[in-house]
Amino acid sequence: MFNLMLYVVTVLIWGTTWLAIKWQLGVVPVPVSIAWRFLLASLVLMLVLLLRREWRLPPKAAMPFVLAQGVALFCLNFLCFYHAEQTVPSGLVAVIFSLAPILNAINGKLFLKREMQPSVLVGAVVGLAGIVCLFLPEWRHWQAGMGQGVLVAALGTICFSSGNLLSSRMQGMGLTPLFTNAWAMLVGATILTVGSLLAGLSFEPEWTPRYLSALVYLAIPGSVIGFTAYLMLVGRIGPDRAAYCTLLFPVVALVASSLFEQYQWTGWTVLGLLLVVAGNLIGLANARRALWAMLTGRQLQPG
């Protein structure tokens, strides 16, 4: 049941953060908004570690992984998605992100030497077909930069997948997501802050209820709670099965996009969404059994 709680929390929070990201775009430069988000989130996590008497510097053996996770998961990943949402509806960006399970399986094969089934490649083709269907209605309203936005979102998903593997590696070293997130978020925020200052960007936030509420939501529920819950799932059941929760992100995100961004549902939208979900389920071996095991906390039996 604890796995189910982590799953639901992650889906509900991350399925709505795409819209909050959209609300941050405009006045404040993208790197500055992300820096504020993770400065605030890392501060909250550091305070939690202090209250739990668990604050300490990362072990020397884990430091390269903490630095790499900070760059991939809390810097490049979000730079990509914030920029993508400048030209692509937030719900469609979430759909691209839902290819994370397949990327996790591929990266697990490349970097962790985990077995990858041929069905992963079939699932990738089906999932990509779904994305094509989702974007077919958008061709009539295609704007300059949307193609680049799609590619940038795909790059962000690759960075997210890399961060998953790094977290799995550190949890194998006995480090909790609460601890590694606190330091990795600080690394990402520091890089973004230094880069923004060198570029001469202003750090003054937009003093509007919309921007500030989005910042708080992204920092506390979106980062502190969402990333901790998700990466706990990664440690408990592995990055492949943990990424199943991304299958429901597009549903939540597209509903939010239709309510607040006037996104129009069509037959192509429904077909594309079904293909993306089907592609992910096909792409992971024993998908239904693995999902059931994740939700119930039971161990998979061979065969």
User: What's the whole-number mean pLDDT along residues 32-48?
Assistant: 96
Q: Give the C-alpha distances (Å, rounded to integers) separating 281 from 167, 201, 212, 241, 286.
A: 23, 43, 37, 10, 9
pLDDT for residue 300 is more than 50: no
Secondary structure of 95-116 in HEC code, one letter for each residue: HHHCCHHHHHHHHHHHHHCCCC
Q: Is the pTM of this model over 0.75?
A: yes
More confident of the two residues 76 and 89? 76
Q: Is the pLDDT of residue 181 over 50?
A: yes
What is the span of the domain harbouring residue 290?
A: 2-296
**Is residue 240 one of the residues assigned to a domain?**
yes
Residue 303 maps to a domain: no
| From 87-96, 172-181, 191-200, the region with the lowest mean pLDDT | 87-96
- When the pLDDT of each residue in the chain is averaged and rounded to a whole number, the result is 83
Is residue 301 included in any domain, yes or no?
A: no
User: Are residues 285 and 119 in contact, defined by beta-carbon separation less than 8 angstroms?
Assistant: yes
Residue 186: the pLDDT is: 97
d(CA 219, CA 230): 15
Joined tokens for residue 92: 């469609």
Per-residue pLDDT averaged across 75-97, rounded?
A: 84
Residue 65 lies in a domain: yes
Cα 100 from Cα 162, distance rounded (Å): 10
The answer to whether residues 222 and 14 touch, using CB atoms and an 8 Å cutoff, is yes
> What does the pLDDT read at residue 295?
52
Q: Is 41 inside a domain boundary?
A: yes
Q: Is residue 32 part of a domain?
A: yes
Closest CA relative to residue 236, chosen from 297, 159, 301:
297
As a whole number of angstroms, the longest Cα–Cα distance in the chain is 59
30 vs 14 pLDDT, higher one: 30
Count structural domains, the chain: 1
Is 290 within the bounds of a domain? yes
* Residue 194 domain-assigned (yes or no): yes
pLDDT digits (tens, 9 = 90+) for 285-296: 555 555 555 555
Residue indicated by tokens 């590619």: 151
